[in-house]
Amino acid sequence: MSPNSWACTFYFKKGWWLCMSRNPELDSLKQRERAAFWRKQEVFQRYKEAKDRASTSYDAMQSAWGERCLAREEMNREFEVMQRANDNYRKVWDEYGRIRDYNNSRIESLRHEADREHEMMKDCFDQASAAYEYGNKAEASIYASEGHEHKDHRDELNEEVRTLIQEIQDAKANAQYHAPKIDSSAFHSAKERFESAKSRHESAQAEFKNLKTERDRLKAEFDSAQKEHIRLKEEFQRKLEEVKENNKRERERTLDKAGVRWSERDDAKIVKKADGTTQVYHGGIGKGDGYGHGHTALDQFGNKTYERDAFKEHGKQNYTEEKTGNWTKLERGIIGDDHEVTFALGVGKRSGQTLIADGFLNKREFRAGHNHYGDNDKSRFPDEPSRIEDSSRHKNDNHYTGPGH
């Protein structure tokens, strides 16, 4: 990892400081989780607004339904009033019709009989006149008397006709008084108000149905967004715990390399620098980097370059590595993809030679075993091969096993 790709995030847990390097996968997961969170929030806001609109529309629909019910009740009342009026109208006018029809039938019969009596009266009076002219006064008197009987009977019949006609007229007047022509305007007005209320309710109902559909769609979209956010959040948390655990192990390895006492580890503070070096502060009062703290510095390969115990003096005596003799100070690196090595390069008369061993080692470990490569000094070892690694002393070295060993 290049120095510019380093950044440190500190986590304080159970009294100790943990410095975590930036993890691209963790950063990506966090970005996706935050994007999902804001997506969920944005959908929730739209869902809430749609829910409020649907709720307002529902209240309007219910209000319109109430008005429709009241209008229907009023229309029904007016219809019942009109029906009762119709029933009374039919009853009264049916009675009038019965009287009229009966009386008209009786009048027709009486008038026919009266006409017959009138003709019989005329016939009797004619016969009486003829008998009288012939001097038959007795017969004339009899015919005259019969004519008067027919006349009286005719008049009685006509009087009965007049009575029946008056009954019809009285019955009609009574019907007109008790059952006047029905006024249905109140019912029709109530019906118009009901139709208007019905139309308003159906319109409000259609609007609520559309808003409810939109609300339900956004609710499903919100549920999906929330599920995705929870999934990414849990995935991020799992990765975070994994990274924390890895960094915790790295912390322990760093403290091991720094040689920090167990009594000073809980609150030790580790700081990784951009150049790949590591600073470890430990043993201070109250916290690892508190007053009087110790300080250990590791190079990018984990080797101590500075070591000062707590409450010890500052100074150059605390530096641990310098160039010595014919070799550079120990360096650490990686050969190939992941083969860690510790090495030193020859200088002066050792120029062109290399000491190398597997792993990141300290001085003691490196001196205990390493491979030696380079041109042999034939003036000193005339009988040995030209390459040191092929010499009898080093040809069986196996401290470096990486590429080209």
Q: What is the pLDDT of residues 311-357, one digit of tens each?
A: 999 887 888 754 445 788 888 888 887 889 999 888 767 778 899 99
For residues 202 and 295, membership in a common domain is answered with: no
Same domain, 309 and 329: no
Asked if the structure places residue 6 within a domain, the reply is: no
pLDDT at 276 over 90: no
Verify that 328 and 187 share a domain, yes or no. Answer: no
Under 8 Å between Cβ of 341 and 359: yes
Q: What residues form DSSP beta bridges with 308? A: 295
Total Cβ atoms within 10 A of residue 350: 17
**Mean per-residue pLDDT of the chain:** 86
Same domain, 102 and 185: yes
Given 213, 240, 258, the domain boundary residue is 258
Amino acid identity for residue 194 in this structure: F
pLDDT tens, 31-68?
999 999 999 999 999 999 999 999 999 999 999 999 99
* Residue 12 pLDDT: 43
For residues 200 and 268, state if they share a domain: no
Q: Which among 277, 26, 239, 257 is positioned nearest to 268, based on CA atoms? A: 257
- Show the domain range for 288: 262-321
Residue 363 lies in a domain: yes
Q: Which residues fall within 8 angstroms of residue 336, CB to CB, at 6 or more apart?
A: 402, 403
Regarding beta strands 269-272 and 339-345, do their DSSP bridges make them parallel or antiparallel, or are they unpaired? Answer: unpaired
Model pLDDT for residues 35-45, shown as the tens digit of each residue:
999 999 999 99
Residues 317 and 384 grouped into a single domain: no
Same domain, residue pair 180 and 67: yes
Q: Which of 258, 278, 305 is the last residue of a domain?
A: 258
Do 229 and 291 fall within a single domain?
no
Residue that terminates a domain, selected from 283, 302, 321: 321
143 is a domain residue? yes
Residues 286 and 364 in one domain: no
Do 119 and 212 belong together in one domain? yes
Residue 325: predicted pLDDT: 55
Confidence of residue 18 (pLDDT cuts 50, 70, 90): very low
Verify that 48 and 196 share a domain, yes or no: yes
d(CA 405, CA 227): 54
